[in-house]
Structure 1
Amino acid sequence: MQQYDYIFCGTGASASLLLLQLHQNNLLQDLNILLIDPDKKGKKDKTFCFWADVEEPISLDLNPLISHRWDKVVLSGDKTQSILPLQYNHVSSIDLYNQIHQLTLHYNWQKIISYVDEVKADKEGPFIILNGSVLRAKYIFDSRPPVYKTAQVRETHIFQSFVGWMIETENEIKDSNAFRFMDFHIEQQDSTQFVYVLPFSTKTALVEVTRFGAEKMSLTDAEELLDHYVKNNFGKYSIQDIEIGCIPMSNTGINNTQLPGIVTMGARNYQIKPSTGYAFKNMYYQARLIVEAIKQNQPIEVFNKSKSKAHKGRFSFYDGLLLDILKDKPKEGKPIFEALLKNVEVKKILNFLDEKTDVATDLSIFYQLPWKVFVSTLFERSFSFTWFRPLILTFITIFFLILSNHSALQNYLAYGLIMIGLVTVGIPHGAVDHLLETGKWNMKVAPLFIAKYLFLASFMGLLWYILPFLALVIFLAYSSWHFGQADGKKWLLSKWSSTFWGASVLFYILGTHLSETNKILAVMGNLTLPIACPAWLLLPWLVVAIFHKNASFALTVFWLFLSAYLPLLISFGLYFIGQHSLTGWQDVRNHLKLSNSRMWIHSLPFHATAWIFLLCFLVFWSSAYPFEETKRWAVFFIFIACISFPHVISINVVYRSKE
Structure 2
Amino acid sequence: MTYDFIISGLGCAGFSFLYYLLDSPLNDQNVLVIDSSKKDQNDRTWCYWSPTPLDTHPNKDNPTFWNSIALTGDKNTVSSLKNLKYYHIKSSDFYHQMLEMIADKPNIKFINDEILGVNTTAEGSFELLTASLGSFSGKKVINSIPKLSGELPENVLKQIFLGWKIKTKTPVFDPKHITLMDFVPNQSENFSFFYILPYNEKEALVEYTLYDKVDVDQNEMVQILKAYIEKKFSADFEITFEEKGSIPMSTKAFSTSTNPNWINVGTIGGCTKPSTGYTYHTIQRHSKQLVKELVNGSKKTNLSWNRPFRFKFYDNILLNIASKWPDKLPDIFQEMFSRIPGDQVLKFLNEETNFIEEVNILRKLSFGIFIKSLLNYEQH
Interval of TM-score (by shorter of Structure 1 and Structure 2): 0.7 to 0.9
Q: 1:192-271 counterparts in 2 under 5 A?
A: 192-236=191-235, 237-271=237-271
CA contact 1:126–1:260 (8 Å) conserved in 2: no
Deviations 1:402-434 (A, max 9, x none): xxxxxxxxxxxxxxxxxxxxxxxxxxxxxxxxx
- AA at the equivalent of 1:137: G
CA contact 2:162–2:245 (8 Å) conserved in 1: yes
- Equivalences, count: 370
CA contact 2:79–2:337 (8 Å) conserved in 1: no
> Counterpart in 2 of 1:128?
127
Indicate whether 1:353 and 2:349 are aligned.
yes
Deviations 1:53-104 (A, max 9, x none): 22xxx53552526741111222335543320211111111111222232234
Indicate whether 1:342 and 2:341 are aligned.
no
TM-score normalised to structure 2 length? 0.87
- AA at the equivalent of 1:365: I
Gaps of 5+ in 2: none
> Counterpart in 2 of 1:9?
8
The structure whose residues are more often strand, as a share, is: 2
1:317 Cα deviation after fit: 0.9
1:378 to 371, 374, 378: 374
1:144 Cα deviation after fit: 1.0
**CA-based RMSD:** 2.7
Partner Cα distance (1:200, 1:351) in 2: 24
The structure whose residues are more often helix, as a share, is: 1
Deviations 1:234-263 (A, max 9, x none): 221221111111111012232342213222
Q: 1:407-446 counterparts in 2 under 5 A?
A: none
- AA at the equivalent of 1:255: S
Partner Cα distance (1:60, 1:134) in 2: 34
Gaps of 5+ in 1: 386-659
1:136 Cα deviation after fit: 2.1
CA contact 2:69–2:81 (8 Å) conserved in 1: yes
> Counterpart in 1 of 2:272?
272
> Counterpart in 2 of 1:540?
none
- AA at the equivalent of 2:59: P
CA contact 1:126–1:262 (8 Å) conserved in 2: no
Partner Cα distance (1:33, 1:278) in 2: 28
Partner Cα distance (1:365, 1:161) in 2: 28
CA contact 1:179–1:199 (8 Å) conserved in 2: yes
> Counterpart in 2 of 1:43?
41
Partner Cα distance (2:287, 2:346) in 1: 22
Give SS of 2:22's match: helix
Partner Cα distance (1:175, 1:203) in 2: 9
Percent identity among equivalent residues? 26
TM-aligned CA distance change 1:107 to 1:186, over 3 Å: farther
- AA at the equivalent of 2:254: I
Partner Cα distance (2:223, 2:311) in 1: 35
1:62 to 57, 66, 72: 57
- AA at the equivalent of 1:260: P
- AA at the equivalent of 1:331: D
- AA at the equivalent of 2:370: F
Bigger radius of gyration: 1
TM-score normalised to structure 1 length? 0.52
TM-aligned CA distance change 1:364 to 1:212, over 3 Å: farther
Give SS of 1:223's match: helix
1:321 to 314, 317, 340: 317
Partner Cα distance (2:123, 2:9) in 1: 23
Deviations 1:390-413 (A, max 9, x none): xxxxxxxxxxxxxxxxxxxxxxxx
> Counterpart in 2 of 1:21?
20
- AA at the equivalent of 1:223: V
